[in-house]
Structures are given as structure tokens and as C-alpha cells.
Amino acid sequence: MEKSCRSCRKFGEKLFSKGERCSSVKCALNKRNYAPGSHGASARRKKSSEYGLQLTEKQKAKFEYGLRERQFRNYFEKAAKSQGNTGEALLQNLETRLDNVIYRLGWTVSRAQARQIVNHGHIKVNGKQVDIPSFQVKPKDVVEVANKPLIDSVAQDKATPPNWLKSNKKEYKAELVNIPSREEIETPIEEQLIVEFYSR
């Protein structure tokens, strides 16, 4: 079983790392709704301490956005320096990463695939090739595909982009309308627990 599926079972909820597969009957969590490992089926999920809950939420967010610890901490520190709610700022910075924008548009089935496509130079921002997945997309930035046949082969047909992205799917072109509010960010993450973890 793939690592991403094991992680969903570890956290006990779907993180949609496999795109449409996560919504189908093939989802590993549907078949085995218990922790991975040889004793996963017989072991009860232990009630976590406050620290344990905070740590789990941070790990879950790192996994969902595909970041290493240092990268994730840098995002938190940047959010902590901004005005307003730190948790919301953290999610806004993560959501407006170029790889996440590509994923939210439905041009790929996962963030990992989106990162690969950006790394290989198949994406342009405001007419210029960008090969950095962590590139921060800003309001009014126009994102487009340089290799349409490639995206045709991997795009999610049923994907509906969020309201903060204005998309022309036929042309594989989109604009970031605004920085999403917390209500516009669809993620199972409880960001306040992450703030509490780093504030210890």
C-alpha cells in the first residue's frame, strides 16, 4: 500500500492525496478504517494528550501540503509575523503556493503531481515560466499551462475550482481572484492546534 494511503489511515481521515481515488470505493480508508501495521485492526485508537493532538494536526498539515518540517516551520513563522489571525494566515500562504493552486484547479489529481509538473517547467505565471512549486501566487496573477496535451492526460474532469480562483478550463488558464478567507479554504485541518503547538 502506498505511503499516502497509510497516512490517511494513520490520521483516521481522508486527506485526498490520491485525488478521485479517495472519493471512490477503492479508497484504503473505506476498506480498512483502522491504523496501519500488523496490529492496526485489533488496536484501539488511544486518546491523545493535548500535546499529542497538536502534534498530530501539525503532521497532518505537513503531509497534506507535502512539506518538510523546516519548510512548514518557515511558513508558520511567516504567518506569525503577519497581521491578523496566525492560523488563517498560515493556511492562506499554503493555499496560494503554485503547486496547491494547480491542484485546486483540478489540473492534477494530487499536490505531488502538481509539484512535478511545475518542477518540469510546464506552468507559466503572467506569461513567464515558473518551475518553483513554492512560488507564491498573488491576486490578479494569471496561471496557465505551457504543455496542454500533458495536462489533458492528468486533469480531473469533475473538479470544481474554489471561488477564489477564476478558471478557464478549456484554455487551462486561471486567475487568483483574491486571497481565500478561512471559510473558503476546504481542508480538514484545525489550524489553531498548530498555532498552539509552535507557541509552546
Q: Which residue has the higher pLDDT, 170 or 33?
A: 170
Q: What angle do CA 188, 96, 185 make, to 5 degrees?
A: 30
Q: Which residue has the higher pLDDT, 158 or 59?
A: 59
User: In sequence order, what E strands does 12-111 have?
Assistant: none
Q: Are 145 and 122 in contact (CB under 8 A)?
A: yes
Q: Are 53 and 38 in contact (CB under 8 A)?
A: no
Which range is least confidently modeled, 43-47, 56-60, 84-88, 153-157?
43-47
Name which of 21-30, 122-131, 158-167 the model is least confident about: 21-30
pLDDT tens-place string over residues 29-39: 566 666 666 66
Interval 179-197: pLDDT, tens = 999 999 999 999 999 999 9
Distance CA 24, CA 135 (A): 32
Q: What's residue 156's pLDDT?
A: 84
Angle at CA of residue 155, ends 109 and 128, nearest 5°: 100
Cβ atoms 57, 194 nearer than 8 A: yes
How far from 45 is each of 42, 50, 52, 82, CA to CA, in Å? 10, 15, 12, 37
- Give the C-alpha separation, 119 to 33, whole Å: 34
Rounded-to-10 torsion of CA 21, 22, 24, 27: 100
Q: Identical fold at 1-47 and 97-178?
A: no
Residue bearing the bigger pLDDT, 90 or 159: 90
Give just the sign of the alpha carbon dihedral 13, 17, 22, 28.
negative
Looking at per-residue pLDDT, the higher value among 2 and 115 belongs to 115
CATH T-level fold of 49-93+186-200: Ribosomal Protein S4 Delta 41; Chain A, domain 1 (1.10.1050)
pLDDT at residue 166 in the model? 97
- C-alpha to C-alpha distance for 94 and 135, rounded to whole angstroms: 10
- Encoded amino acid at 149, one letter: P
Question: In this predicted structure, which of 24-38, 43-57, 118-132 has the lowest mean pLDDT?
Answer: 24-38
Say which CATH class 1-47 falls into.
Answer: mainly alpha
Domain boundaries, the chain: 1-47, 49-93+186-200, 97-178
pLDDT number for residue 157: 77
Say how many C-beta atoms besides its own lie within 10 A of residue 88's C-beta.
20
Fold assignment, 97-178: 3.10.290
Which position has the higher pLDDT, 43 or 94?
94
Distance of CA 20 to the CA centre of its chain: 14
